[in-house]
Structure 1
């Protein structure tokens, strides 16, 4: 990857104006936009008068675009080129955006992402920045679908239909996407501090959707804008991008625990129907059990399977505090399921009795009853069965050995070390307990002030019928007045590696640990 600003600057660093902190970094992915970048730079210069900003072009072009941007950088030190070659271009627009954000957002308060084709008007950037600076929002979305906006610049009815359909699909699956009328826009501004420490892995070109889903606590505001016709060049929209969008939706749904939780619950419920039917038929037909007895066993086992799957899939990010807590949750799942059955009957029976018992009405009423039961079951499961337990904070007045033992027991860790930043040594004084690799992880956490999870596997593939043991570590900084005063470092060698839930627990647990390092 080559990073350039002024003509004299080549790969290997960012010099001059580019190293200083600015208020706003604009990340602009480009691919064969030679005819558009000059107009964009001129428009931003006019719009952002009096504002300290930087324009970062992350370029994957095969035409003369890099040369045009280099000329612009010679004239204006605020223009930066990051030119990618070969394998660096994998992921296309999404990785271009995240590359620009990773490289430069640390030196600015806000980052704005926009296209280079002039369909995103440069004069909107100042308005978006003013909304963000007012403190009303962490993300400001330039929306084509808000009142006062338009998407007339989308060429053809097919593309407009695809755009609208993609928007509604995202909003249907992810409640976070409903914070804005245009979760598919490529024109948005974000407060960098609000997304600090989050590792985004977008697929395709919908980076905003990734941010909204992966950081559901973000406050969102939007400003309307008219999506303009392309100034020059050729649109990059294609069937492949459509496939990438669907892949991105599936990836977020599967890998982000809180994403699409209702639909995960519905999938688990569907699997419960299969379990219920299989048990009922097996007991009644194979073992000739009484139908009522078979039904009772079928209901009981389907509720149990639903609970286990919801615990492992739907609410896998909601940690149970102990085995007793887990068993209590399982027991509570049964009365909640009974209340769901009651909601089903409360909808089905009155409709059946007072409307019609004829086909196909009773089938429709049964479906409505299932919807009511699912909604009641989901709400009660969210608020009762899988209600997040309050994060337990350590006692800052407790002896370090007691704190260490509590963390070691909770994490099932082989060892836990409290490292003071005053002398970079463990509080117990045993500096030999830390290897060079341990110190490297601790140094990384100290430099970034961000928690980290590392998992190192075996040097070769395990033999058949054996379980590989993994070397795991968790490292969490302890902050006092935004300064790292210590690091909590835990390691475990086990067939079960640490998880992100372990990292979240340790981060919450150590939030009051600064007195230990005084």
Structure 2
């Protein structure tokens, strides 16, 4: 395909991955400013580019006509995605196209797009139609109402995934759990830190040197930006219709590298006003359920091990009692603490999956309990009962927080 106007291509920025502030309202450049700039990073998306540009343009023309831009940033796709996108400019005047020939990577492509953007609000959406475009309406509304960051989440009401394999689900859960351990103050602020579909207020990340690794640019935005208020909107992650998935093992390694880099960086999270702040009500209910589990554990242990009853060996009795207590806690948490989430997924296999995750997390909490008990007793407070109370408190917070993020959330939809 021959392009008669190659000068329509946006020049690809180089240098630091840093976004400038918008010009002041009194400057000459201010007349060219827009409300919203949406970056669509692409690589070998020739089969999808026409459709996504058409759909996005139709949606945005209805709500902010002429006050937005679509920026396709293509990493010099062998299938000519950038050429096809360029040929669409005559039909879609809000479209801009960048061809990168000397740099690669999803995260840097997004930032390079933001660097040439003219919008007060910046966004990103995948070019493969796995992110439903209509969710932009809710994300834009959240930003316009004052949020610094609006994230499309698979794990809040209205969200989910359509047909993921067990392996992919396992890797996703494991990646988030690892992130919660390494960077709890970053990943704990959103229900779906792996999301690649979000909008951010330009002023929240302006003049900040970004340094992402791999695909998970949202971690960088939350970790290094001045993100005070966060809103989340549910969306269903759809399966790709055209083209091939680009998820490989390298992306998971890059994710771990990114977590460690952020952990070791000397950043501070300024302001922690979030729409989904710590759910104290759920935590109290979770604690009361845990207290009921203590009584169940003690009663079953007595019935199984006491010489006047069954007289079974202590270790065997304790294992059975502990598992029954865990089952008791799961039933009450599912019916009371997290009832709003459980009601959305009531089928038996969905409850079974929640129970298995709850069980594994509680067993990990037991290991944490023992470790904290020994650490506190041997090095801090030489009182076994106070040390045990501290260990129980630590394990309770662990069990609640990880179950909140991984067990009771909407993930599977039709």
- In the superposition, the TM-score normalised over structure 1's length comes to 0.47
Of the three residues 240, 247, 255, the one matched with 1:245 is 255
Give 1:369 shift: 9.3
Q: Residue in 2 aligned with 1:213?
A: 223
Give 1:347 shift: 5.4
In the alignment, does 2:53 pair up with 1:41? yes
Q: Residue in 1 aligned with 2:309?
A: none
In the alignment, does 2:78 pair up with 1:66? no
Secondary structure in 2 matching 1:39: helix
**In 1, are the aligned partners of 2:47 and 2:242 still within 8 Å (CA)?**
yes
In the alignment, does 2:110 pair up with 1:97? yes
Aligned-partner Cα distance in 1 for 2:231–2:393: 36
Q: Residue in 2 aligned with 1:79?
A: 95
Q: Residue in 2 aligned with 1:172?
A: 181
Give 1:80 shift: 0.9
**In 1, are the aligned partners of 2:39 and 2:114 still within 8 Å (CA)?**
yes
Give 1:116 shift: 0.5
Of the three residues 145, 151, 172, the one matched with 1:134 is 145
Aligned-partner Cα distance in 1 for 2:119–2:107: 20
Query: Which is greater in Rg?
Result: 1
Secondary structure in 2 matching 1:345: coil
Within-5 A mapping of 1:491-506? none
Secondary structure in 2 matching 1:229: coil
**In 2, are the aligned partners of 1:180 and 1:222 still within 8 Å (CA)?**
yes
Within-5 A mapping of 1:96-245? 96-104=109-117, 107-135=118-146, 137-154=147-164, 156-174=165-183, 175-215=185-225, 217-245=227-255
Cα pair distance change 1:345/1:240, threshold 3 Å: same
Cα pair distance change 1:371/1:133, threshold 3 Å: closer
Of the three residues 44, 47, 68, the one matched with 1:32 is 44
User: CA offsets, 1:461-509, max 9 Å, x none?
Assistant: xxxxxxxxxxxxxxxxxxxxxxxxxxxxxxxxxxxxxxxxxxxxxxxxx
Secondary structure in 2 matching 1:54: strand
- In the superposition, the TM-score normalised over structure 2's length comes to 0.59
Of the three residues 345, 362, 378, the one matched with 2:381 is 345
In the alignment, does 2:70 pair up with 1:55? yes
Aligned-partner Cα distance in 2 for 1:178–1:10: 39
Aligned-partner Cα distance in 1 for 2:234–2:36: 20
Quick one: higher RCO (CA 8 Å, sep 6+), 1 or 2? 2
Structure 1: segments with no counterpart, 5+ residues: 260-339, 352-364, 376-518
Q: Residue in 2 aligned with 1:357?
A: none
**In 1, are the aligned partners of 2:11 and 2:98 still within 8 Å (CA)?**
no
Aligned-partner Cα distance in 1 for 2:393–2:237: 42
RMSD: 3.3
Q: Residue in 2 aligned with 1:294?
A: none
Cα pair distance change 1:165/1:74, threshold 3 Å: same
Aligned-partner Cα distance in 2 for 1:153–1:116: 19
Secondary structure in 2 matching 1:209: helix
**In 2, are the aligned partners of 1:6 and 1:74 still within 8 Å (CA)?**
no
Cα pair distance change 1:221/1:347, threshold 3 Å: farther
What is the aligned length? 268
Secondary structure in 1 matching 2:251: helix
Structure 2: segments with no counterpart, 5+ residues: 14-30, 270-375, 399-414
